[in-house]
C-alpha cells in the first residue's frame, strides 16, 4: 500500500511539473510577444498578418474625401490671355462725324480665368467603394475677366470739331472689351479645358489619398 501511494504521488508530481512547464513556456512566449510588439510595431503587424492570414485595408470615408475636395474651394484651372482691338463711336444723326462724331480705337490686353467651384460639393456627389471613387463635378465656370490697364492702350481717338471729348466713351469701350474677351474665350472652349484640368487635378489628389481608380460622371 505504501508503494502504491508513493507511485500515485510521483505521477501527480510529474503532472504538476508538466503543467508548470507548459505554463512557463506560455507566459514566456506571451512576454516575448508583448516586448516585440512594443519594440517593433511594424514588425509585429507584418508577423501577425502573415500568421493570422489577414490583409490591410485602407478605409477612406466619404466625408473625408468630400472635405479634401472642398478645401480646394474655387480651383482656377485655366487662364486665357488675349489681345483684341475694340472700337466705339458716337454719331450725330444730322451732322457729319468730322463735326460732331467721336470715335475711339483701343488695343486691349486681358485675361479670362475659369475653373470649378467645389464649395457646394455634397456627399451625394461622391461615391466611395473600396479603392474606387466616382465623382459628379460641378460645371466649370468663368471666374473673372480682367483687362490689363498697363498693356491696354488707346490706339486712336477722333473727335468732331464742334463737340468735346466724351469721358464715358472709353469706359464703355473697356466694358465692351471685357465682354468680347469672355465671349472669345467661351467660343474657344475655355470651359471644356477648365473641366479637363479640374479632373486631372482631382485624380492626382485622390490617388495620393490611396485610391486606385477615379471616375467622373
Domain boundaries, the chain: 2-52, 62-216
Which band of pLDDT confidence, cut at 50, 70 and 90, is reported for residue 112?
A: very high
**Is residue 172 within 8 Å of 88, Cβ to Cβ?**
yes
pLDDT at residue 71 in the model: 76
Average of per-residue pLDDT across 10-29: 56
**In whole angstroms, what is the distance from residue 113 CA to residue 115 CA?**
7
pLDDT at residue 111 in the model: 95
Which band of pLDDT confidence, cut at 50, 70 and 90, is reported for residue 199?
A: very high
Rounding to the nearest 10 degrees, give the CA dihedral for residues 67, 68, 70, 76.
180
Examine the pLDDT at 88 and tell me if it is beyond 90: no
Q: What is the pTM of this model?
A: 0.63
**Is residue 169 within 8 Å of 90, Cβ to Cβ?**
yes
Helix (H, G, I), strand (E, B) or coil at 57: coil
Which band of pLDDT confidence, cut at 50, 70 and 90, is reported for residue 58?
A: very low
Amino acid at each position: 500500500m505504501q508503494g502504491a501511494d508513493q507511485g500515485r504521488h510521483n505521477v501527480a508530481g510529474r503532472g504538476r511539473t508538466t503543467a508548470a512547464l507548459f505554463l512557463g513556456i506560455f507566459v514566456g512566449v506571451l512576454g516575448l510577444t508583448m516586448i516585440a510588439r512594443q519594440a517593433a510595431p511594424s514588425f509585429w503587424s507584418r508577423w501577425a498578418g502573415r500568421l493570422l492570414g489577414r490583409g490591410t485595408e485602407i478605409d477612406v470615408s466619404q466625408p473625408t474625401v468630400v472635405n479634401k475636395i472642398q478645401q480646394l474651394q474655387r480651383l482656377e484651372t485655366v487662364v486665357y490671355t488675349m489681345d483684341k482691338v475694340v472700337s466705339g463711336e458716337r454719331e450725330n444723326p444730322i451732322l457729319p462725324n468730322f463735326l460732331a462724331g467721336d470715335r475711339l480705337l483701343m488695343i486691349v490686353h486681358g485675361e479670362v480665368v475659369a475653373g470649378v467651384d467645389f464649395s457646394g460639393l455634397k456627399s451625394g456627389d461622391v461615391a466611395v467603394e473600396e479603392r474606387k471613387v466616382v465623382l459628379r463635378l460641378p460645371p466649370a465656370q468663368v471666374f473673372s475677366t480682367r483687362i490689363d490697364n498697363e498693356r491696354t492702350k488707346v490706339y486712336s481717338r477722333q473727335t468732331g470739331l464742334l463737340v468735346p471729348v466724351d469721358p464715358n466713351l472709353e469706359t464703355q469701350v473697356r466694358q465692351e472689351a471685357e465682354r468680347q474677351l469672355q465671349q472669345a474665350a467661351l467660343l474657344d472652349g475655355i470651359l471644356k479645358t477648365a473641366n479637363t484640368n479640374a479632373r486631372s487635378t482631382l485624380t492626382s489628389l485622390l490617388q495620393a489619398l490611396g485610391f486606385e481608380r477615379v471616375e467622373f460622371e
